Chain A
Amino acid sequence: MTLEQIRALLPLIILVGAAVAIMLGLAVRRNHAFTVAVAVGSLAAAILSLALGPTVATPITPLLRLDGFSVFFSGLILAASLFVAVLSHGYWNRRRTVISEEFYILLLLAAAGSVTLTMAVHFASFFLGLEILSGSLYAMIAYERDRQAAVEAGIKYLVLAGGSSAVLLFGMALVYARTGTLDMAAAAAKLAGALDVLTLAGVAMILVGIGFKLALAPFHLWAADVYEGAPAPTAAYAATVSKGAIFALLVRLAAAMDIQSNPPFQATLAAAAVITMFAGNLLALRQSNLKRLLAYSSIAHMGYLLVAFLAAGTLGRTAVGFYLAAYIITTLGVFAVMIVLSGTERDADRLEDYIGLSRAHPLLAAVFAGMLLSLAGLPLTAGFVGKFYLLAAGVGAHLWVLVAALVISSTISLFYYLRFIAAAYAQPAAPPALPAAVAMPRLARLAIAVLVILLLWLGVYPAAVIRAIQEAVAIGR
């Protein structure tokens, strides 16, 4: 391996080194604050090493490849992981009975798996990255193992993710049986667009596996239960990092295999997108549990993303990149509010917990409202510009049905976001269900402030970011 390749691998090396260092350090002495510092420091160092890394596309063995595409998505994933790590600190500090340090090891490993996914150009690294990510997520979901709901959610995710991995693997085996290679580009070249029954089934099974992990519509049933049972930081992680990494992989795989221009896949994915958008939004309508609502809303957002994904081309990929960034910032923002409000016993995920929030914490209520409005796609927020780009991509590719579905279903979504905003600004009839959270940790405050700045920046002046994304996805092939 050359020096240049090691330089390109540096983010992964830093993350894994920090995970091992924390693990060995725990044998000597446990200290929550120090563990968080190491985790956050290593994530920041990994981001820095990405920024200072090679500027030309660097293949690293047949398995991985660092190019503009992976730099952009890895940066997004690492930044989101960093926010989750910072927010977890205050959250676990309040849960005294839970041993919290291992959470950061798992978080760093999951981030390493996600970074692998964004760099993967080979089915082996694709599968390994996915398994590292889900393997860490199982334990992160069931982390509070004294709570029955958490263990139940962990087992549900374990069984369903295991099943979907089996389907994925079977699909890869079928593609391998026909092409004799596991390299994505080489396999695509051998197939050359002409798919017979065997490879058609293979690629379809791979897409089903990915669809499961993204909770696309016929495979979305696990999401709400898992998010509800998982501790809030894990739910935030699963909704942002895990989805972002897998979507990045889907875009790369599709670019290599040219999936969007293949009529059967185009039709099925378009149908899946429409069902996903409506299923997510309609199921969210009656939710009074914020975690379940965010689960369904994340399903709907994956459906929106599919529109830009199907539009393909540079515009489509730019829209995917920008929308994912906006979605991750916004979702993290909502979860951040939930995490700082969560008490010692349970998470602040009920509608009642937010009634009268504007009285107790006016600023926090404003942030909460802003983030939800961005999820709904209202102007001045990142979500608006993101949705605008999705529509532009969809219209540019003449996907009229999808564009109509996007507009109608995101109008529906306004209802349930506004319901929570209205609760936050309502007069509390009774004393609040949760005692007003004790002084917010300074780090969490800083994290929320940064998220708000990013939200407004992307919403008001997105040009610089969009240019950066355009460059990143242009080299993406």
Chain B
Amino acid sequence: MRLTGKMPVPQKEKMNATFYISAAVAVLSTILVIVSRRAVHALLYFIVSLLAVAAMFYVMGAPFVAMLQVIIYAGAIMVLFLFVMMMINLGVDVRGPEQAWLRPSRLAGPAVLAGVLVAELVYVLAAGWKHSAAPVEVPPEQVGLAAFGPYVLGVELASLLLLAGLVGTYHLARGRREDKSPKEEQPR
């Protein structure tokens, strides 16, 4: 589906506007992630930020990447974050403040930003799938052909990056050796 330069100009401008609106939402929510004092609030804004980036990808004609962004980042990784936060149980003392953190008024910010994104999505879908801001739409098979064709080494290198992150996190989370005896005698 190539639509090089066939789009009427006003429509193209509207699509560009959707791009800028989602970019603004992304920037705003990311700033709010940084300035939020509570981890839960930061997380909510972070989810909005990731969804906004997904919306940007979508408007730019990369529906596949947008989908991955929603499924992997906003879905899997953020849920993992939430689980970790729930598992770090701070005890009974914080139950009162915890309820205060989740008061509906605290959710207004993320809700409004997410609402903007939903409105955009509805508008884009209503206006018709083809009108993306980018001249070319990149379908999934093209992504796959590039990633596993000429750029297969890039995928391999990215896996090395993940391996380094994994080993590093594992070590830093694991803590110290308890015994003081020589290392060689302590198989684990």
- State the A residues within 8 Å of B (CB): 16, 19-20, 23, 29-33, 60-64, 93, 96-100, 102, 105-106, 109-110, 112-113, 116, 124-125, 128-129, 131-132, 135-136, 138-140, 142-143, 145-146
List 30 interface pairs A-B (beta carbons < 8 Å), by A numbering. Answer: A30-B183, A30-B186, A33-B184, A60-B153, A61-B151, A61-B153, A62-B151, A93-B183, A96-B182, A97-B180, A98-B176, A99-B174, A102-B167, A102-B168, A102-B171, A106-B168, A112-B160, A113-B164, A125-B153, A125-B157, A128-B161, A132-B157, A132-B160, A132-B161, A135-B161, A135-B165, A135-B168, A139-B167, A139-B171, A140-B168
User: In the complex, how many angstroms separate the beta carbon of B5 from the nearest chain A beta carbon?
Assistant: 16
- State the Cβ distance, B148 to closest chain A Cβ, in Å: 11
Contact yes or no, B151 A97, CB < 8 A: no
Residue interface bits B172-188, CB-to-A below 8 A is 1, else 0: 10111100111110111
Let me know if A31 and B187 touch, CB within 8 A.
yes
Q: When the two chains form their complex, are residues A136 and B164 in contact, meaning their CB atoms are under 8 A apart?
A: yes
Contact B167 A105 (CB under 8 A): yes
B30 to chain A, nearest CB (A): 12
- Asked whether A128 lies within 8 Å of B176 as measured between CB atoms, the reply is no
For A33, the chain B residues whose CB sits under 8 A away are 184
Q: How far is the CA of A109 from the CA of B161 in the complex (A)?
A: 8
Interchain CB contact under 8 A, B164 and A132: yes
A63, B154: Cβ atoms under 8 Å? yes
C-alpha gap A176/B118 in the complex (Å)? 31
In the assembled complex, B85 has its CB within 8 A of some CB on chain A: no
User: Which residues of B pack against A, CB within 8 Å?
Assistant: 150-154, 157-158, 160-161, 163-165, 167-172, 174-177, 180-184, 186-188
Tell me, rounded to whole Å, the shortest Cβ–Cβ distance linking B123 to chain A: 26
Give the docked Cα–Cα distance between A417 and B160 (Å).
39
A132 to B164, CA, bound (A): 7
Verify B154–A128 contact, CB threshold 8 A.
yes
Can you name 16 extra interface pairs (CB under 8 A) apart from A98-B177, A128-B161, A136-B164?
A29-B188, A30-B188, A61-B150, A63-B153, A63-B154, A96-B183, A99-B171, A100-B183, A102-B167, A102-B168, A109-B164, A135-B168, A139-B169, A139-B172, A143-B171, A145-B172
B187: chain A residues within 8 A (beta carbon)? 29-31
- Measured in the bound complex, the distance between the Cα atoms of B174 and A138 in whole Å is 16
Once A63-B153, A124-B154 are accepted as A-B contacts, the answer to whether A97 and B176 lie under 8 Å apart by CB is yes
A113–B151 contact, CB under 8 A?
no
Q: Which of B150, B152, B164 contacts A106 (CB 8 A)?
A: B164
CB distance from B7 to the nearest CB of A (A): 20
In the assembled complex, how far is the CB of residue B60 from the closest CB belonging to chain A, in whole angstroms? 12
Q: How far is the CA of A380 from the CA of B145 in the complex (A)?
A: 56
The answer to whether A106 touches B167, judged by C-beta atoms less than 8 angstroms apart, is yes
Provide the residues of chain B in CB contact with A116, threshold 8 Å. Answer: 157
Q: From residue B10, how far is it (CB to closest CB) to chain A in Å? A: 24
When distances are taken between beta carbons in the complex, the residues of chain B under 8 Å from A145 are: 171-172, 175-176
Minimum-distance CB pairs A-B, first 9: A139-B168, A128-B157, A102-B171, A135-B164, A136-B164, A109-B164, A29-B187, A32-B183, A97-B176
Considering the complex, give the chain B residue whose CB is closest to the CB of A23.
Answer: B167
B168 in contact with A31 (CB, 8 Å)? no
> Which residues from chain B contact A96 at a C-beta distance below 8 Å?
177, 180-183
- Taken together as a complex, chains A and B put the C-alpha atoms of A428 and B1 apart, in Å, by 80
Q: How far is the CB of A245 from chain B (nearest CB, A)?
A: 14
**Nearest Cβ distance between residue A126 and chain B, in whole angstroms?**
11
Q: Which residue of B lies closest to A119 (CB)?
A: B153
Docked-complex contact A109 and B171, CB < 8 angstroms: no
- Distance of A139 Cα from B165 Cα, bound (Å): 8
Residues of A within 8 Å of B170, CB to CB, are 102
**CB closest chain-B residue, reference A135:** B164
A62–B171 alpha-carbon span in the complex (Å): 35
Which chain B positions have C-beta within 8 A of A31?
183-184, 187
Complex CA–CA separation, A454 to B181 (angstroms): 37
For residue A29, which residue of chain B has the nearest CB?
B187
Contact assessment for A62 and B172 in the assembled complex, using a CB-CB cutoff below 8 Å: no
Residue contact B168 to A138, C-beta cutoff 8 Å: yes
Q: Kindly list chain A residues whose C-beta atoms are within 8 Å of the C-beta of B157.
A: 63, 116, 125, 128-129, 132
Q: Whole-angstrom distance from the CB of A109 to the nearest CB of chain B?
A: 4
| Beta-carbon contact of A99 and B177 below 8 Å | yes
Q: How far is the CB of A159 from chain B (nearest CB, A)?
A: 12
Complex CA gap A60/B186 in Å reads 44
CA distance A240 to B171 in the complex (A): 24
